[in-house]
Amino acid sequence: MPITKVLEAQIDHVSILDEHGNFDESLGKDLIPDEDLIKLYGHMVICRLLDEVAFKLQRSGRMGTYPQNMGQEAPSLGASYALEQTDWMVTCYRENCGLFWRGLPMEKILQHWMGDERGNDIPRELHATPIAVPIGTQMLHATGLAWAAKYREEKRVACTFFGDGATSEGDFHEAMNFAANLDIPVIFFCQNNQWAISVPGRIQCSAPTVAQRGMAYGMDCLRCDGNDLFAVVHCMKQAIASGRDNNRPTFIEAVTYRLGDHTTADDARRYRDADEVELWKARDPISRIKNYMKSRKIWDDTQQAKLDEEADEAVSSAVRRAEGIEAPSKEDIFNWMFAELPESLALQRDTMRTSSIGQDPSQIEAVESSAQA
Amino acid sequence: MANLTLVQAINLALVQEMEKDDRVLILGEDVGLNGGVFRVTDGLFKRFGEDRVVDTPLAESGIIGTSIGLAMAGLRPVPEIQFEGFLGPAYDQICSHAARMRTRTRGAFTVPLTIRVPVGGGIHAPELHSDSPEAIYAHQPGLKVVMPASPYDAKGLLISAIRDPDPVIFFEPKRIYRAFREEVPEDEYTVPIGKARTVCEGDDLTIVSWGASVVQCMQAIERSGRSIELIDMRTIYPFDMEAVEESVKKTGRCVIVHEAPKTCGFGAEIAARIMEDCFLHLEAPVQRVAGFDTIMPYYKLENDYLPDADRIEKAIEEIGAY
């Protein structure tokens, strides 16, 4: 036969709890126990409040540029919930909800955006890497971390998060290629929030799905409604099993939406339709869970009132802790450059000077005394 | 004790360090089955297996980025970039991440990484196989940059680099990979990062150099018949200013020799520091014999570009007569 079909592809889109409250029993039953669902919902409420407060902190000059996570709580939270504490989470900067779930103190994130490196001093037992600013570069680190786990024969996966914009960067493709060809258990979790600052998704990826990126590398491609916590957990479970059992990477596209601006330095009204934003507000992951829980009679207004109080306290104390940290010392500019500071650098630190006479004023006396001699 | 070439000394360092520390692994293009295009990793794949000597996809940023992840997890990866001309694609990972991770996280994450890269011209190679970018990486805070010029130093420095808790770029001057042999102890030893070596002592003039140029410097010194002190820096950053200062204060005259282009080459930094630290001891301005501020030519003109013993000798005469 001169022409034979060598590949046929299919990608499924998973939706379990949709924006209208329809719940697929066959997929959703027993996926998230009720007591967990209540905790997850409460957690999203706190995270949303923190996000709103963070915005205000920036506007009032108490924090620098901040990327709002609003609307994207479910993807990283569902992932974090499905992962073990010992699995790596390698994030960019819109995964606060998932990071807080696994124990990252909220003030760490605030401190990062308040211009303090101590926000990145993350306890190793959290297995979370710091916020990654250069787009699309952290997936390679996730691949290395998962590779190290495999090297040590640990059953640990790395889940790395990025947006649709990052799938244009070369390093993203290199990471996918490495993981697929060398059998490294990485979950490539794309939060397709459809905007990279002002550039719409079709400029990053004009293919029908972002998920099919994974096909080029021969890995499983899953796609889901990212605002559906159940669908995210469903896909994650599959990906985690693939990683742990077979060292295979998986690509997950979670379709979501960036309800806020790219950061507090951006104004999305310049390039987005208000209609589009309204459409996605109706798909909010938090109200979706609330309505579902209410319909199942496991949540009521009394509980909500109590939660709102707790959220207020949790967020206020996080802000207090973030702002209450003592000022960094200028020596900190130097003290973490190397395990052991080279002499020339120690001299710069001790004198806060770079000019040679500034570093060693005795040189002037030496000149004067030799002139007198 | 055996007489080894630079290649053999590096190979020995890798073998011994891999035996000693199972956190060490090698990765890169053609390093496994093929033993490396210069055969520097020859025999390692057979000895240590495919999990520790890994043939990676053809992707420099991927090699370094995954190595950063391996290092963050506490392993000691020793990736190879096949030629210095191909460091370009990895520049972002090196400078935006490897160099920054410790200070960015206040020590929560560190990158004990050693990047091996053949460097320099003179082997009639194709384009982008003959460059000298050491100054670019010396200018990036957070990196250590070393370049041994002898087999003994290569073994000792590589082991120091692998054991260093911070990222090190280990440049291997390919022109002298097999140019000569010297005694290299089988026993474990290290050469400290940040310390220069005095190749020969002298009173009238100091030559400062590194990499394969050290060989041309020795030839020029021999031909000149003068009393010249030659310092092989061995480490570009953090560099041994003390050794340079002591020598220049003694001789009062200094010629710096490097293959890399003159402007903003590392010789400029050393010259500035000599001016700061030895100003009143100088009998003549510091001279730099370096590559021209051009793209490295294709190999027909290579020898017109590279600082040779003639050009170095001329500089010696000129500064001597100043």
The tally of domains found in chain A comes to 2
Q: Are A83 and A236 contacting, i.e. CB atoms less than 8 angstroms apart? A: yes
- pLDDT at residue number A1: 85
The tally of domains found in chain B comes to 2
How many contacts, defined by CB atoms under 8 Å, are there between A and B? Answer: 138
- pLDDT at residue number A365: 75
Return the beta strands (E) in chain A as ranges.
13-14, 88-90, 158-163, 186-192, 195-196, 199-200, 220-225, 250-255
- B103-142 tens-digit pLDDT: 999 999 999 999 999 999 999 999 999 999 999 999 999 9
Region of B110 on the Ramachandran plot (φ > 0 left; ψ -120 to 50 alpha; else beta): beta
Nearest alpha-carbon partner for B68 in A340, A113, A336, A90: A90
- B65-113 tens-digit pLDDT: 999 999 999 999 999 999 999 999 999 999 999 999 999 999 999 999 9
- pLDDT at residue number A363: 81
- With vertex at residue A280, the alpha carbon angle to CA A250 and CA A32, rounded to the nearest 5 degrees, is 50
Contacts of A137 in chain B (CB under 8 A): 65, 92-93, 96-97
For residues A344 and A224, membership in a common domain is answered with no
CA distance A51 to A65: 13
Contacts of A145 in chain B (CB under 8 A): 69-70, 72-73
Interface contact B65-A144, CB threshold 8 A: yes
Nearest alpha-carbon partner for B117 in B139, B133, B102, B101: B133
* DSSP code string of A40-103: HHHHHHHHHHHHHHHHHHHHTTSS------TT-HHHHHHHHHHS-TTSEEE--SS-HHHHHHTT
DSSP designation for B244? H
Please give the single-letter amino acid code of residue A67.
P
B194-205: average pLDDT = 98
CA distance B229 to B224: 12
For residues B128 and B256, membership in a common domain is answered with no
- pLDDT at residue number A359: 94
A122-143: average pLDDT = 98
Nearest CA in chain A to B60: A174
Active site residue B129: yes
DSSP designation for A128? B
Q: Does residue A239 form part of some domain?
A: yes
For residues A355 and A234, membership in a common domain is answered with no
For the cut 70, the answer to whether the pLDDT of residue A373 exceeds it is no
Domain residue limits at B239: 197-321
Q: Does residue A357 form part of some domain?
A: yes
For residues B206 and B156, membership in a common domain is answered with no
Interface contact B66-A171, CB threshold 8 A: no
CA distance A192 to A114: 27
Mean pLDDT of chain B: 98
Share of residues in chain B with pLDDT > 70 (%): 100
CA distance B318 to B289: 12
- B283-310 tens-digit pLDDT: 999 999 999 999 999 999 999 999 999 9
B94 in helix, strand or coil? helix
A200-225: average pLDDT = 97
Last residue of a domain, one of A306, A324, A342: A324
Q: What is the CATH number of the domain that holds A220?
A: 3.40.50.970
For the cut 70, the answer to whether the pLDDT of residue A367 exceeds it is no
Domain residue limits at A228: 13-324
Name A210's Cβ contacts closer than 8 Å, sequence gap at least 6.
A164, A167, A190, A192, A201, A204, A223, A253
Q: Are A16 and A285 contacting, i.e. CB atoms less than 8 angstroms apart? A: no
- pLDDT at residue number A364: 79
For residues A211 and A63, membership in a common domain is answered with yes
- With vertex at residue A63, the alpha carbon angle to CA A57 and CA A69, rounded to the nearest 5 degrees, is 70
Please give the single-letter amino acid code of residue B235.
T
- A340-363 tens-digit pLDDT: 999 999 999 999 999 999 999 888
Q: Are A89 and A98 contacting, i.e. CB atoms less than 8 angstroms apart? A: yes
Token pair of B271 as six digits: 């010259």
Q: Report H helices in chain B.
A: 6-20, 44-48, 60-72, 91-92, 101-104, 134-138, 151-163, 213-224, 241-251, 266-278, 302-305, 309-321
A141-164: average pLDDT = 98
Q: What are phi and psi of A57, to 5 degrees?
A: -60, -40
Total number of residues shown for chain B: 322
What Rg, from alpha-carbon coordinates, does chain A have? Answer: 24
* DSSP code string of A17-44: B-TT--B-HHHHTTTS-HHHHHHHHHHH
A240-263: average pLDDT = 98
CA distances from B164 to A338, B143, B192, B224 (A): 10, 11, 10, 40
Q: Does residue B192 form part of some domain?
A: no
For residues A317 and A336, membership in a common domain is answered with no
Token pair of A188 as six digits: 């490539």
Q: How far is CA B46 from the centre of its chain?
A: 28
Q: Could you tell me the pLDDT band of residue A14, with boundaries at 50, 70 and 90?
A: very high
Contacts of B72 in chain A (CB under 8 A): 129, 141, 144-145
Nearest CA in chain B to A124: B108
- pLDDT at residue number B144: 98
Q: Are A14 and A235 contacting, i.e. CB atoms less than 8 angstroms apart? A: yes
Last residue of a domain, one of B184, B219, B254: B184
Q: Are A335 and A348 contacting, i.e. CB atoms less than 8 angstroms apart? A: no
Interface contact A148-B102, CB threshold 8 A: no
Q: What is the CATH number of the domain that holds B272?
A: 3.40.50.920
Q: Does residue B281 form part of some domain?
A: yes
Nearest alpha-carbon partner for A146 in A221, A83, A215: A83
- A153-179 tens-digit pLDDT: 999 999 999 999 999 999 999 999 999
Contacts of B61 in chain A (CB under 8 A): 140, 170-171, 174
Q: Does residue B190 form part of some domain?
A: no
- A223-246 tens-digit pLDDT: 999 999 999 999 999 999 999 999
- pLDDT at residue number A224: 98
CA distances from A319 to A48, A103, A265 (A): 14, 16, 21
Token pair of A328 as six digits: 């960094």
Q: Which residue has the higher pLDDT, A60 or A367?
A: A60
CA distance B172 to B22: 24
Query: 């204060």: which residue's tokens?
Result: B249
- pLDDT at residue number A249: 98
For residues A33 and A60, membership in a common domain is answered with yes
Counting beta carbons within 10 angstroms of the beta carbon of residue B107, is it exposed (0 to 12), middle (13 to 18) or buried (19 or more)? Answer: middle
- A88-122 tens-digit pLDDT: 999 999 999 999 999 999 999 999 999 999 999 99
Q: Could you tell me the pLDDT band of residue A368, with boundaries at 50, 70 and 90?
A: confident
A135 touches chain B (CB under 8 A): no
CA distance A360 to A367: 12
For residues A250 and A202, membership in a common domain is answered with yes
For residues A199 and A256, membership in a common domain is answered with yes
